[in-house]
Structure 1
């Protein structure tokens, strides 16, 4: 398999992390934002939706969208619950990540990280994202204050999915992570999983 991956992106990182945790072999093609490699990948039609990550299977099929890739890679592993309702609980957190969490936590980090987006980082926008992000991290804090993992009693794709942008929410997004001790403990639990690799790993 070949993964077109944006090294600085949490969406690409979550796929790389699951590959590492499951010991799956995969060639990586780095396509950083606004790079020549990204332009070449788009020109070659290697990115169906115009963005990374995209997993190219050995038979030539292409699978875009990070959480769809996670679901495909997770089939038959311990990261996907056997029980149908628990799988649905896992998916609910993953839908929430893309519908709510990523659009705030990741966006605020991107406005602080990428020079090409700095002009969008108005004080009003950054304050709005900060307040909303703290609310969203509070949702995770409420769950994790009473459970080790987000969806079920075991680690699942939901945890891998939400870890990607949450673990850098403080350093890259400027969120006050001291307010969320249960989230921080959960971050440590994921980092201790066998096979773990970091964002730059």
Structure 2
């Protein structure tokens, strides 16, 4: 199978990290969003939404949306709880990541780390800080109670949230304000087969 993505994107890195932890074999197809790689006719045939990552199975079936791909690839693994309520909690955190976390932390990171906070994006950048800190506080509260987001062991919830959280400083977020998040980051980085995010 093939995964199309940008290694600097947290949404794409999630899949690389998961595949490494679960020892999943795949072919990585590197795309450059800024170069228009996701707007080509050939890519839009695979995903009309023009977004990465996408998974293309050997039989040609295509799956998009990072957390949907995570759940598909991790099916049957210990990263998805057997208990229905805990499994729903994983989904709760994944929805939280896409709606309350990524729109602030990932966008702030893009504006600062890749664009250098240009004048025409400064107001937007500053507006992302409060939302990002709110999301980090929610995570900190949970991690004061449990070592991982859904209890005592790592799940897909942690992989989903780790991707952009561990590089949040690149968006201007000082993680020293969140000691439990920093401990959680170290726990994930200590996992067997942990794969760091690639740098260009």
- The TM-score, its normalising length taken from structure 2, stands at 0.93
Asked if 1:163 corresponds to 2:155, the answer is no
Check whether the contact 1:41–1:47 (CA below 8 A) recurs between aligned residues. Answer: no
Aligned to 2:153: 154
Match of 1:175 in 2: 173
Rounded Cα–Cα distance in structure 2 between residues aligned with 1:44 and 1:67: 20
1 CA distance for matches of 2:44 and 2:52? Answer: 13
CA contact (8 A) 1:8 1:32 kept: no
Distance 1:57 1:117, change over 3 A: farther
**Residues 108 and 128, structure 2, Cα contact 8 Å, conserved in 1:** yes
Other-structure match for 2:97: 97
Contact 2:168 2:175 in 1 (8 A): yes
Partner of 1:4, secondary structure, is strand
CA RMSD of aligned residues (A): 1.9
CA distance in 2, matches of 1:6, 1:168: 15
Q: List alignment gaps of at least 5 residues for structure 1.
A: none
TM normalised by structure 1 equals: 0.92
Change (3 A) 1:157 1:120: farther
Instruction: Name the CA distance, whole Å, in 1 between partners of 2:113 and 2:41.
Output: 23
- Aligned partners of 2:116 and 2:38: how far apart in 1? 15
Measured in 1, the distance between the counterparts of 2:116 and 2:45 equals 24
**Aligned counterparts of 1:116 and 1:35: Cα–Cα separation in 2:** 18
Pick closer, same or farther for the CA change 1:55–1:136 going to 2, 3 Å: same
- The residue number in structure 1 matching 2:186 is 188
* Alpha-carbon distance in 2 for matches of 1:152, 1:139: 15
Q: Any stretches of 5+ residues in structure 2 without a counterpart?
A: none
Deviation at 1:44, TM superposition (A): 6.1
Work out whether residues 42 and 50 of structure 1, in 8 Å CA contact, stay in contact via their aligned partners in 2.
Answer: no
Q: Is the 2:117–2:125 Cα contact (8 Å) retained in structure 1?
A: no
Distance 2:117 2:172 in 1: 16
Q: Map Cα deviations across residues 46-90 of structure 1 (whole Å, 9 max, x no partner).
A: 334201100001111000000000010110001000001100011
